[in-house]
A and B are shown apart, each in its own frame.
Chain A
Amino acid sequence: MNKFNNNTGKKIKNSKKELIGYTSSLSAAISYGISAILAKIIVGQITTPLIASSFALFFGFFTLSIIFYKQLMNIKSIDKKTFLFLFLAGLASCIGVGAQYYAMNNAPVILVAPITGANALFAILFGSIFLKKIEKITPLTVMGAFMIIIGIIIIILSRA
């Protein structure tokens, strides 16, 4: 009976975790969708993508530091290795933004968009290599990712 209760408890906890994960990821996509509209206005009328990204990053950092100042007090709890991974994650993301900017300057959107749009496939590929112990990648996930990427490429090209 206890084992049954434990299993049910685990299942409920896992489905709650999944629900939070799916909702957060899709909410992040909506948030980025809004920012893309803002970016279109900023880059068209105000300044370059590089300068706009620098200030937007700073304001994002500043706002979260104020809202979550209590969590920020625990910064000493982060070990050096985690700091290094966060630094590398930030660096890789900046390389992404900078490289996309130069790609758009050198090649037409029709070529650039399908390649940059496939970044999730690289995430899955790297995940299957480096995250073997903490993540299980299923064929259904890969199929779903492919469908999303093809759909997104069609959407980007329809607006290009």
Chain B
Amino acid sequence: MGTIITGIIFALIAAIGWGASAVLSRIALEKTDPRLATIVSLFFSSIIMFSLSLSMQFNEFEKLVVSDFLWFFSAGITSFAAGRLLNYVGIKNIGVSKASPLFGTSPLFAALLAIIILNENPTIMLGMGIILVTFGIILITKSK
């Protein structure tokens, strides 16, 4: 029970962290170009994450082989180079309140890609989720 409560607290911290990150970047984007802002924020994020992983999981680094870096590179391009840059362009143009929920639809695309690439089975619940997300997107784009 104790570990479950710890898990819930960390999940809340994660949600607050991402919410705060979107708002902080919105403030920074008022005065700077999204491309430059993405590069600077990725620079800081890399330093923080490397410090964390070196201090907590140093032994894991020894297990890496050269071919693993191709996977990291692909993830870096999709997740951070394209993902964060496009997210910042979205935040700058439509604001954090509209961009964040739209950006939050990524699990929907992951699910659709998993069906296509990983041959996962589509379910009725997935269909219900897609309908709700679609209506949500329509409502956000209609709000002035």
A residues contacting B by CB (< 8 A) are 17-18, 20-22, 24-42, 46-48, 50-65, 67-68, 71-72, 74-75, 77-79, 82-83, 85-100, 102-108, 111-112, 115-128, 130-131, 134-138, 140-159
Pick the most buried of A17, A20, A39, A124: most chain B CB atoms within 10 A of its CB. Answer: A124
* Bound Cα distance A83, B44 (Å): 10
Among residues of A, the one whose C-beta sits closest to the C-beta of B3 is: A106
Pick from B38, B42, B82, B97: contact of A124, CB under 8 Å: B97
**A99 lies within 8 A of B128 (CB):** no
**B11 lies within 8 A of A115 (CB):** yes
**B137 lies within 8 A of A148 (CB):** yes
A-B contact count (CB 8 A): 476
Among residues of A, the one whose C-beta sits closest to the C-beta of B30 is: A134
A-B contact pairs, 30 of them (CB 8 A): A21-B92, A25-B91, A26-B102, A33-B110, A36-B113, A50-B49, A53-B53, A55-B69, A59-B73, A60-B42, A60-B76, A61-B43, A63-B76, A64-B38, A64-B39, A83-B40, A86-B24, A86-B41, A103-B9, A115-B15, A120-B19, A121-B19, A122-B18, A127-B23, A134-B26, A145-B101, A147-B135, A151-B108, A155-B129, A158-B111
| Residues on the A chain within 8 Å of B12, using CB | 115
| Residues on the A chain within 8 Å of B17, using CB | 92-96, 99, 119
State how many angstroms separate the Cβ of B4 from the closest Cβ of chain A.
5
**B139 lies within 8 A of A60 (CB):** no
**A21 lies within 8 A of B89 (CB):** yes
Among residues of B, the one whose C-beta sits closest to the C-beta of A16 is: B93
* Bound Cα distance A67, B74 (Å): 16
Interface residues of B in 91-144 (CB under 8 A from A): 91-114, 117-118, 120, 123, 125-126, 128-144
**B6 lies within 8 A of A79 (CB):** no
* Bound Cα distance A16, B82 (Å): 21
